[in-house]
């Protein structure tokens, strides 16, 4: 059964996921937007790529990051590899196979703008509804709703960036996840969908940068360019759908079990195990069978590493021990690295960092063979 997990993230840097250097108006490098609402977003493909890359590097198999398929950059593509199993593999040792996660676009939930009373976070009825936080919220097209909780004035209009809006009423009552910081929750402002799109698009970061010549490390001449970015402190949400349809996720429990079958199991057991993973030879000749068994054993051995003379599972590096080696844990540990290394961006460090602030509670399910 597929399961969906909702994630909330906050940008801790400006995040720019470009459309590929298109020049539009005053900005050289525009950002990816949702058709219809024209709201910037982080495409699921960019999230998928970053999560895969950090999972592979943290786990200790950098060759399994990326798209694979290219010479020299091939995924291991083995059914014993949690990275390839999770995200899929192109032309690995066990052929090509699809992954078991799909990651949606990250969409803006709360967008920070400056006001004379400090930063406020705007959102809209359509945005809240899409994020599953309730429906039937209303607000007049040119007004706004915010709470009289002492943070924002209730007796006068406030500015949202350049735009002055009058207060219509309290912000509707919403069950925000506790993980959204109170200083954000207490400063939320509801505006109409149309106004929201205008406010977001006129308050994106526009930065100027200079292209660096990779050989000399110096700035290229005439290489000044601008790009737009989702500002820091924006809250976005995305969904991760897990569908482990093969039910063979290589947790340490599974890897240990397979290892025991290959070492001590009967011939039928070994055959069943390897056939299911397409490692069993077509012609059942003794030497081919033995070769398949020893290959599978070496694959499992490569999911371990040795440290101070002690052999450990590579899983140990993911912070997912004690029987919690799940797909969701793999994604969460990859996201921990995105807090420091960022996603996509302009190819520079310290840009595009995101912080996970919420993931819905982990369901524990009993895996079967």
Q: How far is the CB of 315 from Zn ion (least distance, A)?
A: 13
Nearer to Zn ion, 84 or 158 (CB): 84
Residue nearer to Zn ion on the CB measure, 77 or 231: 77
Closest distance to Zn ion from the beta carbon of 37 (Å): 38
Interface stretch with Zn ion, choices 12-20, 57-65, 221-229, 303-311 (CB under 5 A):
57-65
Nearest to Zn ion of 246, 288 (CB atom): 246
121 or 299: whose CB is closer to Zn ion? 299
Q: Does residue 64 bind Zn ion (CB under 5 A)?
A: yes
DSSP 49-86: HHHHHHHHHHHT-GGGSS---STT------TT-HHHHH
Whether 352 and 16 have beta carbons less than 8 Å apart is answered as yes
Beta bridge partner(s), residue 88: 98
Rule CB under 5 A: say whether 17 interacts with Zn ion: no
Q: Select 33 or 304, whichever has its Cβ closest to Zn ion.
A: 304
Q: What is the DSSP letter of 133?
A: S
For residue 91, the minimal CB distance to Zn ion (Å) is 12
Window of 62-70, 181-189, 217-225, 273-281 that interacts with Zn ion by CB under 5 A = 62-70
CB atoms within 10 A of CB 183: 12
Strand 41-42 relative to strand 106-115, pairing? antiparallel
Residue range at the interface with Zn ion (CB under 5 A); choices 64-72, 203-211, 238-246, 329-337: 64-72
Give the rounded distance of the alpha carbon of 314 from its chain centre.
21
Nearest CA to 158 among 193, 127, 197, 189?
189
What part of residues 80-119 is at the interface with Zn ion (CB under 5 A)? 81, 83-84
Strands 106-115 and 163-169: unpaired
- Give the span between the Cα atoms of 134 and 190, in whole angstroms: 13
Stretch of 59-67, 284-292, 299-307, 327-335 contacting Zn ion, by CB under 5 A: 59-67
Q: CB-wise, 91 or 138, nearer to Zn ion?
A: 91
Beta-strand relationship, 118-123 and 163-169 = unpaired
Phi-psi region of 323 (alpha: psi -120 to 50; beta: other; left: phi over 0): left
Token digits of residue 108: 């803006």
Q: How far is CA 277 from CA 94, 120, 294, 315, in A?
A: 8, 53, 14, 21
- CB of residue 56 to Zn ion, shortest distance in Å: 7
When asked if residue 330 is in the footprint of Zn ion (CB under 5 A), the reply is no
Burial class (CB in 10 A: 0-12, 13-18, 19+), 339: middle
| Comparison of 57 and 356: residue with beta carbon closer to Zn ion | 57
DSSP one-letter string for 143-175: EEE---SSSS-SSS-EEETTEEEEEEEPPPP--
Specify the residue, 15 or 84, whose C-beta has the smaller distance to Zn ion: 84
- Find out whether 127 and 188 touch, Cβ atoms under 8 Å: no
Which is closer to Zn ion, CB of 88 or CB of 231? Answer: 88
Q: How far is the CB of 262 from Zn ion (least distance, A)?
A: 19
Tokens linked to 214: 């990779």
- In this complex, which beta carbon is closest to Zn ion, that of residue 15 or of residue 90? 90
> 103: which 2 tokens?
């990651």
- Minimum distance of Zn ion from residue 295's CB (angstroms): 15
Of residues 67 through 86, those in contact with Zn ion by CB under 5 A are 75-76, 81, 83-84
Count of residues in contact with Zn ion, rule CB under 5 A: 6
Least distance in angstroms from the C-beta of 81 to Zn ion: 3
User: For the chain, how far is it from start to end, CA to CA, in angstroms?
Assistant: 15
**Contact positions toward Zn ion, by CB under 5 A?**
64, 75-76, 81, 83-84
């Amino acid at each position: 059964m597929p399961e969906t997990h909702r994630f909330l993230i906050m940008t801790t840097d400006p995040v720019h996921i470009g459309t590929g250097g298109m020049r539009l108006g005053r900005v050289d490098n525009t950002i990816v937007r949702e058709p219809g609402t024209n709201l910037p977003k982080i495409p699921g493909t960019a999230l998928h790529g970053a999560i895969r890359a950090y999972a592979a590097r943290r786990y200790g198999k950098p060759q399994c990051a990326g798209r694979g398929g290219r010479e020299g950059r091939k995924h291991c593509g083995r059914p014993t590899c949690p990275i390839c199993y999770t995200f899929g593999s192109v032309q690995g040792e066990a052929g090509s196979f699809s992954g078991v996660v799909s990651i949606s676009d990250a969409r803006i939930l709360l967008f920070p703008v400056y006001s004379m009373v400090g930063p406020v976070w705007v959102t809209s009825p359509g945005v809240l509804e899409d994020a599953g936080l309730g429906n039937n919220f209303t607000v007049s097209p040119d007004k706004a709703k915010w709470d009289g909780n002492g943070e924002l004035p209730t007796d006068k209009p406030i500015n949202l960036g350049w735009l002055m809006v009058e207060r219509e009423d309290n912000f509707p009552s919403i069950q925000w996840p506790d993980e959204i910081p109170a200083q954000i929750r207490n400063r939320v402002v509801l505006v109409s969908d149309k106004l929201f799109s205008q406010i977001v698009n006129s308050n994106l970061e526009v930065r100027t940068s200079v292209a660096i010549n990779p050989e000399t490390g110096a700035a290229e001449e005439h290489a000044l360019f601008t790009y737009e970015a989702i500002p820091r402190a924006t809250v976005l949400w995305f969904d991760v759908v897990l569908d482990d349809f093969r039910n063979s996720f290589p947790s340490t429990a599974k890897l240990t079990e397979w290892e025991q079958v290959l070492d001590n199991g009967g011939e039928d057991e070994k055959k069943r195990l390897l056939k299911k993973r397409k490692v069993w030879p077509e012609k059942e000749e003794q030497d081919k069978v033995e070769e398949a068994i020893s290959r599978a054993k070496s694959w499992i051995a490569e999911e371990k590493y040795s440290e101070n003379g002690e052999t450990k599972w590579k899983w140990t590096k993911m912070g997912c021990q004690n029987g919690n080696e799940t797909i969701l844990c793999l994604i969460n540990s990859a996201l921990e690295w995105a807090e420091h290394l960022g996603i996509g961006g302009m190819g520079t460090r310290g840009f595009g960092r995101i912080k996970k602030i919420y993931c819905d509670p982990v369901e524990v399910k009993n895996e079967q063979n």
